[in-house]
Structure 1
């Protein structure tokens, strides 16, 4: 497994998809400042300091940018094996197809945490450049924990989408659209119980993020239910991987079924 992960990071040096990820993780911080600038006085966040900017960036990341970015990159890493026609060579080593998928997903989980750190760094830089005040050690530590934390939780939330769309070549682009809708829809869920079992919002609850300002509700979600939800998502992902057949076996089975039907027709 370590060899698979190491190989994936080596191959990432040749892909430009990481640049897309870095751009995607840069926009939330810029969007936080932009929306605050163009909003009407009534809708602006009062005392918009570094702490408020970090919170705004986390919200933008979790509901829009991270689900799309992580599904795009994760799906791309798996889809490259189809487009480069390397699966037939990999299977001769041999490597179990399930282990290959798991290795790529672990690689993406590490990347998601790194993207979380990157987003935090960009947020601080944008805040300082635009003259936003209120920076302190406490705020830095809080953001340093919450940003990578929400990145990992968001990645877990979209794992079933990445895994399921990995079963077919180029299907990951459809997964990107689903992830966008999955994240965007979370902004309209007000009920505390639903927020506890909706994976995207479960991640916000796990990192102890206050959604009151963004969802117009003071009722907190349930931490235990949120953790349980993410655990169920991991379990669901494992089952999808377990029942995912290697592509060469799928093709072989289709050919065998075709020959079988032809044989039956000739006999009849």
Structure 2
């Protein structure tokens, strides 16, 4: 598995979608910048700015970014016609996908670090108070953890896209709607995975709307999504394997030579 992951890491430099992901992460910071400067009724500080960056990441940008990157990376094996060569090594499709999921986790951390550094630079430009070494490290950790939790939240969508050929763009659209629902407020949203990601990293989540969310339901929601993702992956992989074995038997039957003349 380690060799497969290393190989996937080496492929990153060929993926233009990674650069697109970095650009989209910068758009999240820009949007937060415009939002903070447009608000005249509130005195912003560094913590408020980072909170807005996390909201933009979780609800509007990162669900789309990580799903789009996942769809691209997984579909490249089919579009580049390299899957049949990889499977003869032999490497099972299951192991290949697991390696790609680890790669996506690595990219999530890379995107998050880039996003955090850009947020710090923009805050220095805007001049919001309260930025010191401790707050910078805490904010970077919040951004990284929130994006990892969002990645876990959209993992079922990514898994379905990995096994449903030709429906990748539909998965990106679903991820956008999925993330947009987290912009709403309500007690039931305490169990909504992407909202849960925001609740777990931001204790003030929803306070400006008079909401008080609880951490235990949010944590249970994320754990539940992770368990569902594992079960869904096992089920779809077993189904794909059975379909492949049936098609292989049919090919063998057709290739069997008839006796006699």
Q: Could you tell me the TM-score, scaled by structure 1's length?
A: 0.86
Give the secondary-structure state (helix, strand or coil) at the position aligned to 1:174: helix
Deviation digits for residues 76-130 of structure 1, max 9, x if unmatched? 1111111111111111111121111111001101111221111110001112123
Match status 1:160 vs 2:156:
yes
* Conserved? CA contact 1:88–1:248, under 8 Å: no
Give the secondary-structure state (helix, strand or coil) at the position aligned to 2:118: helix
Residue 265 of structure 1 aligns with which residue? Answer: none
* Conserved? CA contact 1:78–1:101, under 8 Å: yes
Residue 257 of structure 2 aligns with which residue? Answer: none
Gaps of 5+ in 2: 254-261
* Conserved? CA contact 1:101–1:241, under 8 Å: no
Residue 92 of structure 1 aligns with which residue? Answer: 88
Give the secondary-structure state (helix, strand or coil) at the position aligned to 1:162: helix
Give the secondary-structure state (helix, strand or coil) at the position aligned to 1:166: helix
- How far apart are the structure 1 equivalents of 2:82 and 2:218? 39
Alignment of 1:218-237 (within 5 A): 218-221=211-214, 223-237=215-229
* Conserved? CA contact 2:186–2:211, under 8 Å: no
Residue 22 of structure 1 aligns with which residue? Answer: 22
- How far apart are the structure 2 equivalents of 1:61 and 1:111? 15
Return 144-153 or 234-243, whichever deviates more: 234-243
CA 1:132 to 1:219, structure 2 compared with 1: closer, same or farther past 3 Å? closer
Residue 68 of structure 2 aligns with which residue? Answer: 72
Give the secondary-structure state (helix, strand or coil) at the position aligned to 1:13: helix
Q: What value does the CA root-mean-square deviation take over the aligned residues?
A: 2.3
Q: Could you tell me the TM-score, scaled by structure 2's length?
A: 0.88
Gaps of 5+ in 1: 261-268
Q: How many residues align?
A: 252
- How far apart are the structure 2 equivalents of 1:80 and 1:117? 26
